[in-house]
Amino acid sequence: MPPAAPPRDTGRFGKYRLIDRIAVGGMAEIFLAHQQQEDGQETPVVIKRIRPHLSKHSAFVKMFLNEARLAAQLNHPNIVQIHDLGKIADSYFIAMEYVSGRDMRRVVPKAEALGIPFPLVYAVKIASNVCAGLHHAHTKGDLYGTPLNVVHRDVSPENIVVAFDGSVKILDFGIAKAANQMEQTRNGEIKGKLSYMSPEQCLGKPIDCRSDIFSLGVVLYEWLTGFKLFTGESEAAVMRSITDGKIYAPSYFREDLPERLEVILMKALERDRDKRYQTAAQMQKDLDAFLDAYDFTPTPLHLSNFIKQLFEEELAGEQRRLAVRAAAAPTSEEALELSDVVSALDTAKGVPAPEPEPPPVADDRTEPRTLAVPLNQALAEALEAVAKRNNISAGRMVAELLESWLKYR
């Protein structure tokens, strides 16, 4: 059996080769891609491509690019690096470091589903790494030493990734500012992951690094207790819970929680930001001191083994799938010819197609599959250009592309 063709929306994207669409959200599509280096080697990257309807909003695009340029200046082992940003054709995008791992939104529930307790010290170690990345961003200056004033604004489980090598990375610095601006412009209200926002963020006040510290406190509270700190039946109820609701000490839900750790957590969750940790480095110092005094301090190797254990079957399947899709993706020469086919399809959209006749038997080992569907002259010429190269994989991809076009046009 020949390898399956890549899913829709893969192929060439500027200097990148899109391998697999990882996720689609309201703001962007996310792809695993390969970037070819000067020596011919291909490096995996992640492409976050802004959805077309947002690309039409100039205010959003401007803020998105400005925030991404600031984030691109961050260079720290606990922050996902941005390599490139800009516009290709009509699509605005960010190219960033590829991290093979799982975000914490998936890690903790996966452990629970498998009946594996999520170790307290792992939660603290991951939070310490997040503090290190946050402090770098919060204190980063430009070439002249002027503070960039970068605040993440969306510290939440899905933006904290534990790689399969045991490293911890923070995703999407600064992007939340652009996303929130877009939501406010469209709906006149704050959107986002409300449950992890700081009180000042909910109230629309100016925010600084202490907002990220509060959000990390909320995340760590959830990891340690298994309970979400701020909930409600509506967004307004969640916001009231954050600004006015009672914050129960984590030992209320987990009696064996060390008192020293509870003190750290409650300080991070002070509603009065002047009483909170004033820097992420201060919080990291206390977390590390707690780990040093504990019976066991995890290393990246411990985290690596734990994550691999949780996602062993998933990881093996993912590697097989990506290997197949990478092998099936067109070369740059083939992609150029296939783009001619796509252009021909666009030209032919208004041309009614007769009922297809049964296709003649073809041997895929010697020539591309022939199609019995009559098409307009432009499309026929594009198909002939591919067929002349006697390229089986390109011919197969063209055939499948045509079948999809005829089905959904």
Q: Which residues pair with 319 in a beta bridge?
A: none
Summarised one tens digit per residue, pLDDT across range 215-256 is: 999 999 999 999 999 999 899 999 999 999 999 999 999 999
102 has a pLDDT exceeding 70: yes
Question: What's the pTM value of the predicted model, to 2 decimals?
Answer: 0.74
User: What single string gives the DSSP state of each residue in 256-317?
Assistant: TS-HHHHHHHHHHT-SSTTTS-SSHHHHHHHHHHHHHHSS----HHHHHHHHHHHTHHHHHH
pLDDT of 6 > 70? The answer is no
Q: Which of 231, 202, 220 shows the shortest CA–CA distance to 284?
A: 220
- Topology classification of domain 99-326: Transferase(Phosphotransferase); domain 1 (1.10.510)
- Per-residue pLDDT, 380: 53
Give the residue carrying structure tokens 């993912």: 318
For the residues 333-355, what does the mean pLDDT come to? 44
For residues 96-114, average pLDDT: 93
Query: Is residue 390 pLDDT above 50, yes or no?
Result: no
| pLDDT 10s digits, 184-224 | 444 433 444 889 999 999 999 999 999 999 999 999 999 99
Cα gap 180→67, rounded to integer Å: 12
Identify the pLDDT of residue 65.
Answer: 84
pLDDT tens by residue, 320-339: 665 665 565 555 444 444 44
Mean pLDDT over 147-172 rounds to 93
So which residues are the catalytic ones? 154
Beta-strand (E) ranges in 159-198? 160-163, 168-170
What residues does 42 pair with on adjacent strands? 36
Domain residues of the chain, as ranges? Answer: 99-326, 331-408
CA–CA separation, 369 vs 353, rounded Å?
A: 19
